[in-house]
Amino acid sequence: MDHIVTLDSRQETALQAIADKFIAQHKGDAVKALKEMIVLNGHLQERLDAYSVAHRAAR
């Protein structure tokens, strides 16, 4: 893991609510929700990487 994030109690509460909603969308299947989140994060990381390469090339 490259970066560890520390949350305050308000942020933790908000994150828990979002996680609960995401799991509920997957009919309570936490593993299925986690797998989808991993795929979504992979797509976002690919886009960020492509943006970084394009941004560096533009300099």
pLDDT tens per residue across span 20-42 = 999 999 999 999 999 999 999 99
- The mean pLDDT value for 46-55 works out to 90
| pLDDT at residue 46 in the model | 93
| pLDDT at residue 1 in the model | 53
d(CA 21, CA 30): 11
d(CA 15, CA 49): 25
Query: 54 falls in which pLDDT band (50, 70, 90)?
Result: confident
Q: Give the distance, in angstroms, between the CA of residue 21 and the centroid of all CA atoms in the same chain.
A: 14
What are the boundaries of each domain within the chain?
29-59
